[in-house]
Amino acid sequence: MPKMKTKSAAKKRFKMTASGKVKSGVAGKRHGMIKRSTDFIRKATGTMVLSDADTKIVKKYMPYNR
């Protein structure tokens, strides 16, 4: 049986934690910072853990990171 392939886009954007959760960068900070509140910009730093529904989708794209 052939090997399953990992989606290249997924491996660039997501990391798995030791407990099996999926980490990603926070959305909404690419451009347009002028109109965003300083509170939003401050909260959107670093990484976040994806919701259960999104985690299920990402895990299909990354079969060897379980």
Domain count, the chain: 1
Q: Which residues lie below 8 Å from residue 21, measured CB to CB, with a gap of 6+?
A: 49, 50, 55
Alpha helices in 2-61 (DSSP H): 8-13, 38-43, 52-61
- The CATH number for 41's domain is 4.10.410.60
Structure tokens at 5: 């392939």
The H or E element that residue 66 is part of is: none
In a domain, 21, yes or no: yes
Tens digit of each residue's pLDDT (9 = 90 or more) over 12-47: 999 999 999 999 999 999 999 999 999 999 999 999
Predicted TM-score (pTM) of the model is: 0.82
In a domain, 2, yes or no: no
In a domain, 66, yes or no: no
Sign of the four-CA dihedral 43, 47, 48, 53: positive
Residue numbers of the domain that contains 47: 8-61
